[in-house]
C-alpha cells in the first residue's frame, strides 16, 4: 500500500506494531519534481481559493518550503526520517527516476527484496502492466464522481518536468543541493 506517513515510527504505531521484519519499499523522488506534482495535484483538488490562483513560484515559496504549512512537512525532513531508519527497519529505497529509467531493473530489486523469484518475462509483464501510461490509460486512479483520464490525479509521471516550472534558478539549485546532500549522507 502507499502512504505519506512522516516516518516509519508513525507507521509502527499504526500498522507494524513493533514488527521489525516488515519489508518497506520507500520510493523517493527528486524534490523539484515532487513539488511540481504536488502543485498540480492541489490545484486540481481545489483545496482553497489561494491554491486555485497560485502560480508555481508562489506555491513553492509559500507552501512547499513552509514546514508548518505543507501536509507532510518539508521534503528533506520526510526523506531523512525514513532513510535514517534503515538500521531499525527493513527498508529498500527506490528512486523514482531509476524506476522510470529502467523499470525492469527496479522491479527485480523489489522482487528480490521481498523474496519473490521472478522470471525475466514476468518482470517485463509487470513493468508493462504497471507503466505510468498503461495505468493512466486504464483509468485505475480516477477520482470518484469523475469520468476518465482527464479527471485522474495522474498527470505526466515524467522525470525533469521541474525544468518547465522553476523560474527562480536559486530555488531550483537549493532543492538540488538539499537532495544531493541527503542522497550522499544516506549513500543512495
Q: Is residue 108 predicted with pLDDT exceeding 90?
A: yes
62 closest CA partner among 76, 78, 49, 51 = 51
Site of grid cell 529502467: 102
Contact between 47 and 41 (Cβ < 8 Å): no
Q: Which helix (H) or strand (E) holds 165?
A: none
* Of 39-48, 108-117, 167-176, minimum mean pLDDT range: 39-48
pLDDT band at 147 (very low <50, low <70, confident <90, very high): very low
Mean pLDDT estimate for the chain: 86
Q: Is residue 139 predicted with pLDDT exceeding 70?
A: no
Q: Which of 6, 78, 146, 186 is catalytic?
A: 6
38 closest CA partner among 4, 10, 5 = 4
Tell me whether strands 90-95 and 23-28 are parallel, antiparallel or unpaired: parallel
Q: Is residue 49 predicted with pLDDT exceeding 80?
A: yes
* Pairwise pLDDT comparison (84 vs 47), residue with the higher score: 84
The pLDDT value given to residue 112: 98
- Give alpha helix (H) positions in 60-168: 75-83, 96-101, 103-114, 120-129, 132-137
Contact between 8 and 91 (Cβ < 8 Å): yes
Cα separation, 183 vs 156, in Å, equals 25
Q: Is residue 90 predicted with pLDDT exceeding 80?
A: yes
Cα separation, 51 vs 69, in Å, equals 13
The pLDDT value given to residue 62: 87
What value does the mean pLDDT take over residues 72-79?
Answer: 88
The pLDDT value given to residue 164: 94
Site of grid cell 525514513: 82
* Residue 6 annotated in active site: yes
The pLDDT value given to residue 148: 43
What is the three-class DSSP state of 179?
helix
What value does the mean pLDDT take over residues 124-142?
Answer: 79
What value does the mean pLDDT take over residues 149-168?
Answer: 79
Which of 17-26, 60-69, 95-104 has the highest average model confidence (pLDDT)? 95-104
pTM of the model: 0.84
Amino acid at each position: 500500500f502507499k502512504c505519506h506517513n512522516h516516518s516509519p515510527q508513525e507507521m509502527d504505531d499504526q500498522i507494524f506494531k513493533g514488527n521489525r521484519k516488515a519489508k518497506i519499499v520507500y520510493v523517493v523522488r527528486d524534490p523539484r519534481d515532487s513539488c511540481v506534482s504536488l502543485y498540480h495535484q492541489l490545484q486540481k483538488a481545489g483545496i482553497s481559493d489561494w491554491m486555485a490562483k497560485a502560480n508555481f513560484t508562489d506555491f513553492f515559496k509559500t507552501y512547499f518550503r513552509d514546514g508548518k504549512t505543507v501536509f507532510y512537512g518539508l521534503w528533506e525532513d520526510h526523506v531523512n526520517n525514513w532513510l535514517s531508519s534503515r538500521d531499525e527497519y527493513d527498508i529498500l529505497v527506490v528512486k523514482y527516476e531509476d524506476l522510470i529509467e529502467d523499470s525492469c531493473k527496479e522491479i527485480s530489486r523489489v522482487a528480490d527484496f521481498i523474496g519473490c523469484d521472478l522470471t525475466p518475462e514476468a518482470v517485463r509483464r509487470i513493468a508493462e502492466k504497471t507503466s505510468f501510461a498503461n495505468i493512466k490509460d486504464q483509468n485505475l486512479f480516477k477520482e470518484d464522481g469523475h469520468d476518465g483520464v482527464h479527471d485522474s490525479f495522474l498527470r505526466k509521471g515524467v522525470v525533469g518536468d521541474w525544468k518547465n516550472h522553476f523560474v527562480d534558478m536559486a530555488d531550483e539549485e537549493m532543492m538540488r543541493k538539499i537532495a544531493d546532500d541527503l542522497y550522499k549522507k544516506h549513500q543512495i
